[in-house]
With several copies, the nearest count.
Chain A
Amino acid sequence: MIRVQAEDFDVGRELEQLCEGNHAIGGVCTFVGLVRDMAGDHSGDKAIQAMTLEHYPEMTEKALIEIEAEAQARWPLEATLIIHRFGRLEPGQRIVMVATASAHREAAIEACHFLIDWLKTKAPFWKLEETPDGGQWVDANAADDEAAGRWVEGKPAKTKPGAAE
């Protein structure tokens, strides 16, 4: 299911509804994106007071439906949810929620990761940050392109490089 809305959402209630009555679900992975009070990843930590998300309504719904369908085609999912807000949001407020439910945790986690990576570069949203220097449009960044690109080629990952020290 996808939703595009100005209003906030209740993560716990959304998850309840997503899983309700489906006892084939063994794991649910959720990602919630929040407005940070520092700008960008590489801009020297400039404080932001708020962020306004602009989008292209006629296209947004189509794009989210396509992204969700792609996840369902790639992983064995029992249920999926994408909620994306638009409008003016302040630090600490929720921007986006994606949730994926599956019999198996790997499928749920990978599909959740995929959804948020693809939303970053394939959903028609643009972010205007309010900073002490005025409004600044958030630039797309190379790391997001790279993250989205990981899911473009090859087969579903069975293993992934270890992360340890």
Chain B
Amino acid sequence: MKLLYFAWFREKAGVAQEQASPPDSVTTVALLVDWLKSRGNGYAEAFNDASVIRVAVNQEYVSMDYPVAPGDEVAFFPPMTGG
């Protein structure tokens, strides 16, 4: 699974992108967030406030209960500020 981080998610996690192999039990975005938080340090901080976590799976904006699977591209970022 390819993970991407943007804006202050990138700064807090300390990485722009990485390959990850979460356990098979991680089947949704929400479970993936829990697993990443369990890594501690910057991840725990990045995912601390659930209200500002936004996520895209394979470049589509999705909600926290969206399924994830090996091979997916999952991106985390704060609320968008385009325009």
Contacts and interface: CB of A to CB of B under 8 A. Distances in A.
A and B touch in the complex (CB under 8 A): yes
Given A58-B59, A62-B59, A124 B77 contact: yes
B44 to A, nearest CB: 19
A51 B75 CA distance: 23
Interface residues of A, number: 29
Contacts of B78: 126, 137, 139-140
A120 B82 CA distance: 4
A69 interface: no
Interface size class of B (residues with CB under 8 A): 10 to 19
Contacts of B82: 84, 96, 119-125
A54 B80 contact: no
Interface string A6-46: 00000000000000000000000000010000000000000
Chain A residues touching B, majority SS: mixed
B8 to A, nearest CB: 5
A54 B81 CA distance: 10
A33 B61 CA distance: 24
Interface in B39-83: 56, 59-61, 73, 75, 77-83
Nearest to B8: A137
B83 A95 contact: yes
23 contacts: A33-B83, A54-B7, A59-B56, A59-B59, A63-B61, A84-B82, A96-B82, A105-B83, A120-B82, A120-B83, A121-B79, A121-B80, A121-B82, A123-B83, A124-B77, A125-B80, A125-B82, A126-B78, A137-B8, A138-B81, A139-B78, A139-B79, A139-B81
Interface of A: 33, 54-56, 58-59, 62-63, 84, 95-96, 105, 116-117, 119-128, 137-140, 144
